[in-house]
Amino acid sequence: MLKNRDLITIVIAPPKALMSFEKELTEKLHVSYSMISTEKSFKNPNGRFLLISNTCIDKAIPTLAELYKTHKLLGIVDESHNGLQNPKSNMYKQFIQIRKIFCILYFLTATSCKNNIEGMYWMITLLNPSLLGAWSNFKYNYLIINRKRITQTTRNRQKVQRTIEEIVGYKNIERLQSILNEVIIVRQKEYNLEFNYHTTHLNETETKNYLKASGGKMSEKAKDFWSVRLRDITFVVDNVSDEIDREEISNKEKLLLKVLLQNIRENKPTIIYCEYVSVLERLDYLIRAFKRDLGVSNTLIIKGGVSMSERKRIQDIIAVDKPLLITSAGGESINLQKANAIIFYDLPYDIAKIMQIIGRITRVDTEFSKQYIDIIEAFGTTDTYKRLCMEKNMKLIESLFGKMNTLPYTTYDNEQKFMSTLRRSLLWAFTKGKLITEEELQGVFNKFDDWNIDE
């Protein structure tokens, strides 16, 4: 690419990812570039690379049209699963306008589990409209569809029926695989992941508050909204609920500090993941309070609102004595390979998000031969539920960071009756008036002895 003077490379990426491309172009390739983004835009006459934020495609179209008159354009779309899996999205519609100006086009995605087969179809159709044919023909040839009638309530409270389609299986997979091999290139480094589980139990007061929250009695909105109830029980488990005296350190917090101390003693630069900002701020307070005992010089934080320049600074200074606390805002489009350990203080419910976060330390440039994943769990709570959901998909995680096929991964379907029992026992524990015990949980497994990921 660098030898072809007629070629200009166009990189379209999420705003958070642009700084990674800037770093690579500056520090490794030592080349100049131009940029169009919401934070900054500049033109370098000698630049053979143009970086464009995927939120600024409309703004970049005139520039691309001018370049097309005098140069060949090679396009690279990073995190292509965000925006190009849905033909109704704004990004997809914008991309249709500029698709033909590229002589070569690459779509990049490191989160293959998000590429469901329908989304994959639309991305490949954007690359090559004739390869897979019309969507109706693709469904007929390769998908097993279940159609069912459902009743919905409109805004004016009228009942209407409509037919929905569910993809329940695939057919002619070998034929589809051979077609996909023409356009999908897989490049992957295998990583050595070690998962460690650390368990504690709620004390009597914490248990009482958990049952109160799971029954929807911790806040007014929780009575009607399950999402609020889920947030409330997480706040109880993580000791940030307004209903709790937070002067006392919880068992889960003590366990986190113990695991962090062990990582520091073993010379592991560590990232701590939390679901909520209030939890992050609580842990930051605790770590700072015990920093002398822990051997911590400072804490680093990436959450919503942290600028690109600050993110870049933080990813360069991660060290054993500077643990990094992140929320989901730190889980995308940032390289944190200077750490080799992640402590999940909270596990996300979404398996794709778990892998996205793990992906921050499993980078090609990592100098570590091994990465460590620590799971902190208050047994018998939402922590246990999420840990079991993750274990249900462990084959998927191992496949993504080890062997990979070209067909997109889809998360394994949880056996509905089994998961329903877990939800009643672990999330909505108020129905029994107590938290589930280890013996009772094992009884659930014994009852559903066909719960097997390999089936």
Tens digit of pLDDT at every position of the chain (455 positions): 545 668 999 999 988 788 888 888 988 889 999 999 988 899 998 889 999 999 999 999 999 999 999 999 999 999 888 889 899 999 999 999 999 999 999 998 866 555 578 888 999 999 888 999 999 999 999 888 887 777 777 777 777 888 877 776 778 888 888 888 888 887 666 778 899 999 999 999 999 999 999 999 888 888 888 889 999 999 999 999 887 777 789 999 999 999 999 999 999 999 999 999 999 999 999 999 999 999 999 999 999 888 878 888 998 899 999 999 999 876 666 788 899 999 999 999 888 788 888 888 887 778 888 999 999 999 999 999 999 888 877 766 766 665 445 445 444 444 566 777 888 888 888 888 899 988 888 887 777 654 443 33
Quote the number of domains for the chain.
3
Q: Is residue 78 part of a domain?
A: yes
Contacts of 270 (CB under 8 A, 6+ apart): 260, 263, 264, 320, 323, 324, 339, 341, 342, 343
Instruction: Let me know whether 136 and 260 are in one domain.
Output: no
Q: Is residue 455 part of a domain?
A: no
Check: CB of residue 320 under 8 Å from CB of residue 268: yes
Q: Is residue 121 part of a domain?
A: yes
Distance separating alpha carbons of residues 95 and 355, to the nearest angstrom: 28
Element (H, E) at 425: none
Instruction: Let me know whether 259 and 393 are in one domain.
Output: yes
Q: What is the CATH number of the domain that holds 116?
A: 3.40.50.10810
Residue 142 is part of which domain span? 132-182
Instruction: Let me know whether 69 and 167 are in one domain.
Output: no
Instruction: Let me know whether 272 and 342 are in one domain.
Output: yes
Q: Is residue 341 part of a domain?
A: yes
Q: Whole-structure pTM over 0.85, yes or no?
A: no
Q: Is residue 339 part of a domain?
A: yes
- Among 120, 152, 182, identify where a domain stops: 182
Check: CB of residue 303 under 8 Å from CB of residue 272: no
Instruction: Let me know whether 397 and 410 are in one domain.
Output: yes
Cα 354–359–364 angle (5° rounding)?
A: 170
Instruction: Let me know whether 205 and 117 are in one domain.
Output: no
CB atoms within 10 A of CB 424: 15
Instruction: Let me know whether 174 and 42 are in one domain.
Output: no
| Nearest residue to 337 via CA among 315, 355, 353 | 315
- Among 154, 182, 210, identify where a domain stops: 182
Distance separating alpha carbons of residues 2 and 48, to the nearest angstrom: 8
CB-side exposure of 405: number of CA atoms within 13 Å?
A: 13
- Among 149, 182, 215, identify where a domain stops: 182
Check: CB of residue 92 under 8 Å from CB of residue 83: yes
Q: For residue 369, which phi and psi values (nearest 5 degrees)?
A: -85, -10
Instruction: Let me know whether 106 and 214 are in one domain.
Output: no
Q: Is residue 269 part of a domain?
A: yes
Q: Is residue 125 part of a domain?
A: yes
Q: Is residue 228 part of a domain?
A: yes
Instruction: Let me know whether 77 and 93 are in one domain.
Output: yes
CA dist list (Å): 189 to 110, 186, 433 = 11, 10, 48
Check: CB of residue 239 under 8 Å from CB of residue 253: yes
